[in-house]
Structure formats: C-alpha cells, structure tokens
Chains A and B, each alone.
Chain A
Amino acid sequence: MKDFRDASFVAKATDGTLVRRPLSPHLGIYRWPITMLASILNRATGIALAIGSLLLVWWLAAAAAGPIAYATVQEFLISPLGLLLLLGWTAALFYHLYAGIRHLLWDIGIGFAKPSLGPVTWVVLAATALSTVLVWVTAYAKLGG
C-alpha cells in the first residue's frame, strides 16, 4: 500500500480471499456535459491569467523605469506575438470574470439548480465572445486601423 487510504479499499470476497474494491469509472467514460467544460475552462483561464499577470507587472515596472523601457513593452505588445497574447488574455479575463460571477451567485444560492446550469453556461460563453470582440473592435477603431 502506497497510500494509507488504500486500506479502505480492502474487502473480502465470498470465498474469503482479500480483494481490492473497484473504483467508479473516471472522466474518460462520460460524455462532456457543458458544465464540465465550463468548470475546466474556469480553471484553465485562471492559470492563464495568473501567468498573464506578469504582463501587468512588466507594464507597471516599465512605466516607472522610463520612456525607453516603456517603448520596449509597447513594441512587444503590438508585435504579432504580443497581440496574440493580449487577445488570449482578454478572452481569458472575460471568461474568468463571467464564470466567477456565476460562481459568486451560486455561493449565495442563486441559479444553483440543475435546469439553469446549462443555459447560464451558454450565457457566460456568449458574453465572453461578445465582450472580447467589443474590446478589440474598440481598440482597432481607436488606433485608426
């Protein structure tokens, strides 16, 4: 036994031999309900944002360091890689924001019923897409294309 919790899996078969109790099937056997996708996405976007927060610190530190350092950040952010990271960051931020609000509402008992879980998740996904597009259209218009 590697883990002491394995002790609770030990059982006796009818002939008296010791057997290991079976585990219920894991993720691979189920079809993906939308709520499962929503939960995994919330975690994934959370991890992405944790890494993306480096960008916020870099931006602040560069602004404090002076014009040359700030120009370097700006140059990176409008490079193809920078724009791709910013696009991912925007989408992740909106998803985590809306999914987070959904979680906070669940915590105070709103919408925590099976019939509303699926529709709310679709609302979160649609709001994420809309907000991301809105931000990028605004940015594009503001910088004059």
Chain B
Amino acid sequence: MAAKITPPKITPPKISVMRSQLGRVRGAGAARSGVEHWQVERLTALALIPLTLWFLISVISMLGADQPVISQWIAHPLNAALLIALVVLTFHHAQLGMQVVYEDYIHGGRRTASIIATKGAAMLLALIGVLSVLKLYLAAH
C-alpha cells in the first residue's frame, strides 16, 4: 500500500487592505471623515427647512417695519433662539457645501486656501450675526 501523500497546504495571500498599492504609497484615498461631512450637511439641511420657512414668513409679516419694531421682535426669547440657530446652521451648511464645490473644481494649494478662507469667513459672519441677536436680546431683558 502506497504511502498517502498529503498535498502541501497552500494558504492564499491575505489581502486585508482593498486599495491599490500605488494609492497607498502616495497617500491617496479617503481622509476618514467623509461620512461626517456628508451627514452634517444633511442634518443642517433638515434643520434649515423649518427655520428658513419660519424666518421668511416672519420677515414678510413685518415688511416695512422700522428698527424699534424689528429689534423688539429679535429680542423676544423664542425669536432670538431661533435666529441664532438659523445663523449658525446657515453658515455651517454653507461652508460645508462650498467645500465640496472647491474640492470638485479647484486643485492644489489654491483649494486648501479657498476652503480655509471660506471656513474663516463663515465663522466670523456667524459670530457677527449671533452677537447682533444677543445684543438686542440682552438689552431688552
């Protein structure tokens, strides 16, 4: 009886990283924060639907009103809170959206510069808006 020959066991190469080797070496690929960006863009959009409609309806109902009436309206606690939410979420959403536009059409260092400049401008403008609302709110309470 012939000795039983066991064929050598061949283990297939283990592929744990499903990426092109060139891409890995060059450091291309996801920055691992894409989902958060996408998600926050949607969440802010969702919040901005009621906020924007509320703002639009409020402004139309006060058309032609002068400064004392408008500041009194802004200073109301509920309006002040909603306005701050509107300003913060608007600029956060705008900045996220503009980043995607830059990433599609601008390349190299100018892309990074545009994104940083837009994020900085959005933050400053949001701050000006929030401080304006807070000033009127605090002055009236």
Assuming the A-B contacts A43-B101, A57-B87, A104-B45, are A4 and B71 also in contact, with contact meaning beta carbons closer than 8 angstroms in the complex?
no
Decide if A49 is an interface residue (CB 8 Å cutoff).
Answer: yes
Decide if B31 is an interface residue (CB 8 Å cutoff).
Answer: no
Partner of A70, one of B28, B46, B67, B91: B67
Assuming the A-B contacts A53-B125, A97-B52, are A142 and B60 also in contact, with contact meaning beta carbons closer than 8 angstroms in the complex?
yes
Within 8 A of A (CB), among B110-131: 125, 128-129, 131
A104–B45 alpha-carbon span in the complex (Å): 8
* Chain A residues positioned under 8 Å from B86 (CB to CB): 56
* Chain B residues positioned under 8 Å from A47 (CB to CB): 97-98, 101
Q: Does B129 lie within 8 Å of A138, measured CB to CB?
A: no
The B contact surface, by secondary structure, is helix
Chain A contact residue count (CB 8 A cutoff): 35
* Chain B residues positioned under 8 Å from A103 (CB to CB): 42, 45
Cβ distance A27 to chain B, nearest Cβ, rounded Å: 13
Within 8 A of B (CB), among A37-54: 43, 46-47, 49-50, 53-54
Cβ distance A26 to chain B, nearest Cβ, rounded Å: 14
Residue of A nearest to B68 (CB): A67
Assuming the A-B contacts A63-B132, A66-B67, are A53 and B94 also in contact, with contact meaning beta carbons closer than 8 angstroms in the complex?
yes
* Chain A residues positioned under 8 Å from B26 (CB to CB): 4
Q: Does B60 lie within 8 Å of A57, measured CB to CB?
A: no
Central interface residue in A46, A49, A50, A101, by most chain B CB within 10 Å: A50
Q: Does B52 lie within 8 Å of A63, measured CB to CB?
A: no
Cβ distance B121 to chain A, nearest Cβ, rounded Å: 9
* Chain A residues positioned under 8 Å from B49 (CB to CB): 97, 100-101
Q: Does B63 lie within 8 Å of A50, measured CB to CB?
A: no
Decide if A18 is an interface residue (CB 8 Å cutoff).
Answer: no
Q: List 18 A-B contacts (CB under 8 A).
A: A8-B22, A46-B101, A47-B97, A50-B94, A56-B86, A61-B128, A64-B74, A66-B67, A67-B66, A67-B67, A70-B66, A97-B53, A100-B45, A104-B45, A104-B46, A139-B60, A142-B63, A142-B64
Q: A53-B91, A54-B125 are in contact. List 9 more A-B contacts (CB 8 A).
A: A46-B101, A47-B97, A47-B98, A57-B87, A57-B125, A64-B135, A93-B52, A104-B46, A139-B60
